[in-house]
């Protein structure tokens, strides 16, 4: 009896002695930052790996045995890698194909999201000599030839090849020009929406270099001001094709390193198309070109002769809506290829022979392949991750090329991904769930753990110092009978007899989920901070999100924003019906597409939401880029209602609650124009709102203490208006 009383008296003390999360912890100090398996790379032999060792300020790249973890030898001392007396950062290293050289860089800067440029260097392990890749302007996308003797790269919109044996630089293209011609480097919209910036590829015999040329001449320009303290702002102008506007005219070319001649590939007579991928097959004389029509509902593979440029269509995937571009294409020797498709209503893998004849559908079932991790051709075993265990989870499976002998390799529920070593004897696994930071391990192919690369023990220990709620998953059905997935974080010391305000959060865009059983990094602690303040945090994935099949994902086609908004309003009403929710205090916050949702919900859901926060929102899809927008809405001139019926600027008269609008002035992605147009519409209707612009900040609105500032602003708004 005494023991029980003592424990009950101690509980309040334990709770109140817990630390409180601060905004500075999350956005300035990095108190809760997770670690990754940095510096670890498996070698070509598949039985050894290299890792960067730290000894004080000294770094060493050493070789280890994969199975035992025993150190074999030191390969490179960081202090030996110098150029003109300046030591280079060993952590930036990348091996050459035959592992006799290192590629390193310094002074990296980003042009756009996926296009860094830097000064690159080549270090020879045998001679310990360091040479500069180019002594002119900074280089982009350096790529070793398969034989390791050459490096192709982009500089000033042109493509070059550096010969590492004799130091000679070959000029592949000469017509590159700012805002006119880009060779081997994607234009802005390709880089953003096809998730790739480098557009060149080596043949396996290192003789041919294929590349895409982007002629931006007819693409209209967008100009942003940068405020640097000068008397007049600096103007930055770049090519940005908005919905319905002209694209770059693309062409594919193949450069012969032996003859120094270039041939143009035959990609058809239609110019208003996309070439989202090029990739040499295992035959060095055959280049695979992916061609996509402007509507993005017909994707074709063209096999092209590297010598003459003649092409043959060997594969076609068509849809009444759209076809996704992926990196799932794999060539199996010279006999065939594997590709993914949603042609049976779920995303699965298919095996075709080299002429394009279907051999068999490899995977089947009411779930989606989310990642094709690779194929062991010797054992004819494929590895992939899927949503077979529900859209909130990612499990890794193996299956034979013939579709038989499927096995679940993941051992825990949550998010798992495997990166396989050469020869498929080992793999590096990463695992997390909603309440567990990432764990990285090296495993043998039979699943036995060889080495824990990083388990984030320090972060797990740190978390115990705080009183944090456990993220819980739930499902509910809307009035239309649509089942939606969600998660909830309840305030610490939750009392079901009380009523709590709700802070809803979502992204909601096509094929992008937030309700994931995975570690959520800084957002988890931001939401936990709101828990500390007595707010319940809820996230629900609306229709249009991924992992639940083609019908669910494509249901928003031609009416982007309509069903998504309805689902979030239904979520708020569902929550408002719970006994522990204060239905008069429900708010919503979103960024980018989520910001678009917040801008719609404060008007279309004006009777449901007390306040919303929109960060970097699209406010009318006619202002956004054409690849993304037309994929889901087609051109504005072909679907006027799809653009106007769900544009936040058209519904400001229905705004009743409090609204916070935030944007970066140098957002090259979702232009400040969006928020300015929305602000203008609200002013015209005399609708009060809060507005914050972050000077010179892009779509991520980060850098320095910017994130601390923006979340301090959001936190203050929430406390005052929710």
How far is Cα 662 from Cα 694, in angstroms, rounded to an integer?
A: 8
Beta pairing class for 500-505 and 581-591: parallel
Predicted confidence (pLDDT) per residue in 334-370, tens digit = 889 999 999 999 999 999 999 999 999 999 999 999 9
Tell me the CA distances in angstroms from 657 to 407, 441, 538, 618, 720, one per residue in order. Answer: 52, 49, 19, 20, 12
Q: What is the average per-residue pLDDT within 103-109?
A: 96
**Encoding tokens for residue 57?**
């300020």
**Encoding tokens for residue 504?**
């809803």
Residue 158 has pLDDT above 60, yes or no: yes
Predicted confidence (pLDDT) per residue in 488-545, tens digit = 999 999 999 999 999 999 999 999 999 999 999 999 999 999 999 999 999 999 999 9
Q: Is residue 142 part of a domain?
A: no
Residue 2 has pLDDT above 60, yes or no: no
Contact 540, 502 (CB under 8 A): no
Which DSSP helix (H) or strand (E) runs through 588? strand 581-591
- 3 — pLDDT class (breaks 50, 70, 90): very low
Look at residue 429 in the predicted model and tell me its pLDDT. Answer: 94
Residue 399 has pLDDT above 80, yes or no: yes
Q: Is residue 355 part of a domain?
A: no
Beta pairing class for 500-505 and 536-541: parallel
**Encoding tokens for residue 149?**
């003797």
690: three-class secondary structure by DSSP: strand
- 68 — pLDDT class (breaks 50, 70, 90): confident
How far is Cα 399 from Cα 383, in angstroms, rounded to an integer?
A: 7
Q: What is the DSSP string of 410-421?
A: --SSSEEEEEEP
Q: Is residue 366 part of a domain?
A: no
- 18 — pLDDT class (breaks 50, 70, 90): confident
Q: Is residue 22 part of a domain?
A: no
Predicted confidence (pLDDT) per residue in 273-301, tens digit = 999 999 999 999 999 999 999 999 999 99
Alpha helices in 17-81 (DSSP H): 23-24
Residues spanned by the domain of 562? 470-721
Q: What is the average per-residue pLDDT within 112-136?
A: 96
- 55 — pLDDT class (breaks 50, 70, 90): confident
Look at residue 17 in the predicted model and tell me its pLDDT. Answer: 54
Alpha helices in 605-705 (DSSP H): 626-633, 640-644, 672-684
Residue 266 has pLDDT above 90, yes or no: yes
Q: What is the average per-residue pLDDT within 586-611?
A: 97
Look at residue 56 in the predicted model and tell me its pLDDT. Answer: 86
How far is Cα 45 from Cα 435, in angstroms, rounded to an integer?
A: 37
Which residue in this structure is represented by tokens 């610490």?
492
Q: What is the average per-residue pLDDT within 452-477?
A: 95
Q: Is residue 435 part of a domain?
A: no
Contacts of 166 (CB under 8 A, 6+ apart): none
- 1 — pLDDT class (breaks 50, 70, 90): very low
DSSP 567: H
Q: Domain total for the chain?
A: 1
Look at residue 13 in the predicted model and tell me its pLDDT. Answer: 39
How far is Cα 289 from Cα 296, in angstroms, rounded to an integer?
A: 15
How far is Cα 432 from Cα 426, in angstroms, rounded to an integer?
A: 20
**Encoding tokens for residue 581?**
């929710």
**Other residues' Cβ atoms within 10 Å of the Cβ of residue 471:** 21
| 54 or 278, greater pLDDT | 278
Which DSSP helix (H) or strand (E) runs through 603? helix 593-604
Q: Is residue 715 part of a domain?
A: yes
Q: What is the average per-residue pLDDT within 186-204?
A: 97
End-to-end CA distance of the chain: 44
Tell me the CA distances in angstroms from 375 to 179, 378, 462, 648, one per residue in order. Answer: 40, 9, 39, 46
Look at residue 24 in the predicted model and tell me its pLDDT. Answer: 97
Q: Is residue 564 part of a domain?
A: yes
pTM of the model: 0.94
Contact 589, 505 (CB under 8 A): yes
Look at residue 405 in the predicted model and tell me its pLDDT. Answer: 96
Residue 4 has pLDDT above 60, yes or no: no
Q: Is residue 700 part of a domain?
A: yes
536: three-class secondary structure by DSSP: strand
**Encoding tokens for residue 61?**
């790249």
Dihedral angle of Cα 521, 527, 532, 537, to the nearest 10 degrees: -140
**Other residues' Cβ atoms within 10 Å of the Cβ of residue 708:** 16
Tell me the CA distances in angstroms from 156 to 107, 278, 628, one per residue in order. Answer: 17, 22, 27
**Encoding tokens for residue 191?**
């880089």
Predicted confidence (pLDDT) per residue in 550-583, tens digit = 999 999 999 999 999 999 999 999 999 999 999 9
The chain-wide mean pLDDT, for the chain, equals 95
Strand ranges, E, within 172-271:
181-183, 200-202, 208-215, 221-226, 234-239, 249-256, 262-264
CATH code, domain carrying 711: 3.40.50.1820
**Encoding tokens for residue 127?**
């001679």
């Amino acid at each position: 009896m005494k023991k029980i009383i003592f424990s009950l008296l101690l509980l309040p003390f334990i709770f109140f002695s817990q630390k409180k999360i601060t905004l500075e912890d999350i956005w300035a100090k990095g108190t809760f930052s997770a670690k990754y398996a940095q510096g670890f790379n498996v070698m070509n032999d598949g039985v050894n790996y290299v890792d960067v060792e730290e000894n004080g300020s000294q770094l060493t790249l050493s070789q280890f045995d994969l199975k035992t973890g025993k150190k074999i030898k030191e390969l490179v001392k960081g202090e030996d890698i110098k150029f003109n007396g300046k030591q280079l950062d060993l952590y930036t290293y990348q091996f050459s194909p035959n592992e006799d050289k290192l590629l390193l860089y310094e002074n990296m800067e980003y042009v756009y999201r996926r296009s860094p440029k830097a000064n690159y260097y080549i270090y020879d392990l045998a001679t310990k000599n360091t040479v500069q890749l180019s002594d002119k302007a900074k280089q982009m996308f350096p790529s070793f030839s398969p034989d390791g003797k050459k490096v192709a790269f982009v500089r000033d919109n042109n493509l070059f090849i550096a010969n590492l044996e004799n130091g000679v630089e070959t000029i592949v293209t000469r017509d590159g020009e700012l805002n006119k011609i880009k060779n081997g480097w994607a234009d802005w919209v390709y880089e953003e929406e096809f998730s790739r910036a480098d557009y060149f590829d080596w043949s396996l015999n290192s003789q041919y270099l294929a590349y895409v040329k982007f002629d931006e001449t007819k693409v209209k320009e967008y100009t942003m001001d940068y405020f640097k303290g000068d008397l007049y702002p600096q103007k930055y102008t770049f090519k940005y094709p908005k919905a319905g506007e002209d694209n770059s005219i693309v062409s594919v070319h193949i450069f012969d390193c032996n003859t120094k001649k270039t041939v143009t590939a035959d990609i058809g007579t239609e110019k208003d198309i996309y070439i989202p991928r090029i990739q040499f097959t295992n035959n060095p004389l055959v280049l695979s070109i992916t061609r996509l029509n402007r509507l993005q509902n017909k994707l074709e593979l063209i096999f092209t002769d590297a010598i003459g440029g003649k092409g043959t269509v060997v594969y076609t995937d068509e849809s009444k809506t759209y076809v996704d571009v992926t990196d799932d294409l794999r060539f199996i020797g010279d006999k065939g290829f594997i590709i993914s498709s949603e042609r049976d209503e779920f995303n699965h893998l298919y095996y075709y022979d080299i002429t394009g004849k279907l051999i068999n559908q490899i995977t089947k079932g009411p779930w989606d392949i989310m990642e094709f991790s690779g194929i062991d051709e010797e054992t004819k075993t494929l590895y992939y991750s899927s949503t077979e265990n529900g859209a909130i989870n990612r499990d890794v499976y193996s299956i034979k090329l013939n579709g038989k002998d499927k096995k679940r390799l993941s051992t825990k529920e949550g998010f798992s991904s495997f990166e396989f070593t050469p020869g498929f004897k080992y793999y590096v696994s990463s695992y997390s769930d909603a309440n567990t930071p990432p764990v990285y391990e090296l495993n043998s192919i039979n699943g036995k753990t060889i080495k824990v690369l990083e388990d984030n023990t320090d972060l797990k220990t740190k978390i115990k110092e705080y009183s944090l709620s456990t993220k819980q998953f739930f499902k509910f059905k809307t009035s239309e009978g649509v089942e939606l997935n969600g998660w909830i974080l309840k305030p610490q010391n939750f009392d079901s007899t009380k009523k709590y305000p709700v802070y809803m959060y979502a992204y909601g865009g096509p094929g992008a989920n937030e309700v994931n059983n995975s570690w959520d990094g800084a957002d988890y602690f931001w939401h936990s901070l709101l828990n500390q303040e007595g707010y319940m945090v809820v996230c629900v994935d609306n229709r249009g999100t991924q992992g639940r099949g083609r019908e669910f994902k494509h249901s928003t086609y031609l009416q982007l924003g309509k069903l998504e908004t309805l689902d979030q309003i239904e979520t708020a009403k569902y929550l408002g019906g719970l006994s522990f929710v204060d239905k008069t205090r429900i708010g919503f916050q979103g960024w980018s597409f989520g910001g678009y949702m917040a801008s719609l919900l404060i008007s279309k859901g004006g009777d449901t939401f007390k306040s919303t926060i929109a960060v970097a929102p699209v406010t009318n899809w006619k202002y956004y880029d054409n690849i993304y927008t037309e994929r889901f809405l087609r051109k504005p001139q072909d679907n006027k209602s799809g653009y106007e019926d769900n544009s936040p600027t058209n519904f400001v008269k229905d705004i009743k609650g409090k609204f916070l609008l935030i944007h970066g002035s140098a957002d090259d992605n979702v232009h400040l124009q969006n928020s300015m147009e929305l602000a203008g519409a609200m002013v015209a209707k005399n609708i009060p709102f809060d507005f914050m612009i972050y000077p010179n900040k892009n779509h991520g609105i980060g850098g320095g203490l910017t994130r601390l500032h923006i979340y301090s602003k959001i936190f203050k708004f929430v406390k005052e208006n929710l």
